[in-house]
């Protein structure tokens, strides 16, 4: 099996080759990570505030859960389309434009009234998500020497992880106390702060003048890209099938007050941060085995959660484990996908977020179906376990096909 060390160094940008010189590398990566923090906050805070949003727009919780899917569809559509069309644009300016577009989508969400208006606003908010991480990852690796590229990418991704620990619980509390729209206004503020920091600390970098839409999208023809994307979009849905309805699990199954919801959101975030640390070390060991192990443990964890959700302490601990497994899978799948994408590094990074957000929408949608059918709020965890099994099988088939290609 291939490990992280097999990446071809020549396929990655080098410091200065794209004009990326700066004496503030740490601040530049922090600025890019702040964009990830804003994205992570807007993506996950909806789950913590789902009952409040449902009340605000006059719909049921399962129906309102579809706005989570709408955001995910925006990511799926936006990532490959924007990256392919914008590959020639200067990268710093592209990152600024994308994060400001994210802020605009959240402002539209905050002023929207009614189910369909909020649904459309969440779709618009999701469009810049994957493309931002694609360009931010490429900029980050261009700022550092080869031996620090992995840490540069993980530094950008850390913003997304820290959002689950800090931004989402804070946004959930703000939304509960001051109205759910407050959380989205806060994301607008984060987006504007990110744009200012990127302008100040990230150096100008020209785009690729030779890039074409057709050339960028050739990565989609690679079998291992398709296997990695498919495994992510199906298997990672296991995380979201359970976590999309965590607010209702806490109040209706664990039988705690609404005030306990931010604690469980915090548990997921704490697990995500720990998982990010663990993911890097697992990737150094073996990327593919890390993905297989992550899916296998996720299956067991979700099955146990469906049984233990009524007990506060075990439920809290299991939510933390699911958060950790989510990070392990997301980061190792991203590494696998960027390897498989060859020269289309920015598209590879963006496609990972498309896949994970298909998983987001798929998990939330299937969870809403079993809830609406009367199976209760424990049932989405079992749906999630089934999705993780399918993700594991797809990834395993891809590895077998890869061995066949190598042996041919």
User: CB 78: neighbour CB atoms within 10 A?
Assistant: 26
Model confidence pLDDT, tens digit, residues 19-70: 445 558 889 999 999 999 999 999 888 888 888 999 888 888 888 888 888 8
Contact 86/207 with Cβ under 8 angstroms? yes
Q: Give residue limits of the domains in the chain.
A: 16-407
pLDDT at 343: 64
- How is 201-256 classified by DSSP, letter by letter? HSPP----TT--HHHHHGGGG-HHHHHHHHHHHHHTHHHHHHHTTHHHIIIIIS--
pLDDT at residue 353 greater than cutoff 60: yes
Say how many CA atoms lie within 13 Å of 325 toward its Cβ. Answer: 29
Model confidence pLDDT, tens digit, residues 305-322: 999 988 999 999 999 999
Model confidence pLDDT, tens digit, residues 134-146: 888 888 878 887 6
Is-above-0.85 flag for pTM?
no
Model confidence pLDDT, tens digit, residues 138-185: 888 788 876 666 667 778 888 888 887 888 888 988 998 899 999 999
CA distance 84 to 68: 25
pLDDT at 72: 81
User: CB 58: neighbour CB atoms within 10 A?
Assistant: 11
Higher pLDDT, 403 or 188: 188
Q: What is the mean pLDDT of residues 186-193?
A: 96
Q: Select from 3.40.50.720, 1.20.1250.20, 3.30.930.10, 3.40.50.1220 the CATH code of 16-407.
A: 1.20.1250.20
Contact 236/329 with Cβ under 8 angstroms? yes
Using CB atoms within 10 Å of the CB of residue 182, give its burial: 0 to 12 exposed, 13 to 18 middle, 19+ buried.
Answer: middle
Residue at token pair 């490990």 = 3
CA distance 85 to 350: 13
Q: What is the mean pLDDT of residues 402-407?
A: 64
């Amino acid at each position: 099996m291939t490990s992280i060390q097999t990446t071809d160094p020549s396929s990655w940008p080098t410091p200065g080759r794209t004009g990326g010189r700066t004496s503030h590398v740490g601040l530049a990566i922090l600025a890019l990570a702040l964009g990830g923090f804003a994205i992570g906050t807007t993506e996950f805070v909806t789950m913590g505030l789902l009952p409040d949003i449902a009340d605000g727009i006059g719909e049921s919780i399962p129906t309102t859960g579809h706005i989570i899917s709408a955001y995910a569809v925006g990511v799926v559509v936006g990532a490959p389309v924007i990256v392919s069309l914008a590959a020639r644009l200067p990268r710093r300016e592209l990152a600024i434009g994308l994060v400001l577009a994210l802020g605009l989508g959240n402002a539209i969400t905050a002023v929207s009234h009614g189910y369909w208006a909020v649904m459309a606003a969440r779709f618009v908010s999701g469009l810049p998500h994957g493309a931002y991480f694609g360009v931010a990852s490429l900029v980050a690796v261009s700022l550092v020497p080869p031996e620090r590229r992995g840490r540069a990418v993980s530094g950008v991704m850390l913003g997304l992880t820290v959002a689950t620990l800090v931004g989402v619980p804070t946004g959930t509390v703000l939304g509960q106390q001051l109205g759910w729209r407050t959380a989205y206004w806060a994301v607008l503020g984060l987006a504007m702060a990110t744009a200012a920091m990127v302008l100040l600390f990230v150096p100008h970098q020209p785009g690729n003048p030779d890039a074409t839409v057709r050339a960028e999208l050739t990565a989609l023809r690679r079998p291992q890209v398709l296997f990695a994307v498919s495994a992510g979009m199906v298997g990672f849905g296991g995380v979201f099938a359970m976590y999309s309805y965590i607010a209702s699990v806490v109040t209706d199954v664990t039988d705690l007050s609404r005030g306990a919801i931010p604690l469980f959101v915090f548990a997921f975030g704490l697990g995500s941060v720990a998982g990010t640390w663990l993911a890097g070390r697992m990737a150094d060991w073996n990327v593919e085995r890390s993905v297989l192990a992550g899916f296998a443990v996720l299956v067991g964890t979700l099955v146990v959660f469906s049984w233990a959700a009524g007990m506060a302490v075990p439920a809290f601990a299991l939510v933390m484990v699911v958060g950790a497994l989510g990070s392990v899978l997301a980061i190792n799948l991203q590494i696998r996908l960027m390897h498989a994408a060859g020269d289309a590094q920015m598209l590879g990074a963006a496609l990972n977020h498309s896949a994970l957000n298909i998983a987001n929408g798929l998990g939330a949608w299937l969870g809403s179906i079993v809830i609406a059918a009367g199976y209760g709020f424990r049932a989405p965890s079992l749906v999630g376990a089934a999705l993780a099994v399918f993700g594991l099988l797809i990834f395993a088939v891809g590895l077998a096909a890869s061995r066949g290609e190598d042996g041919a």
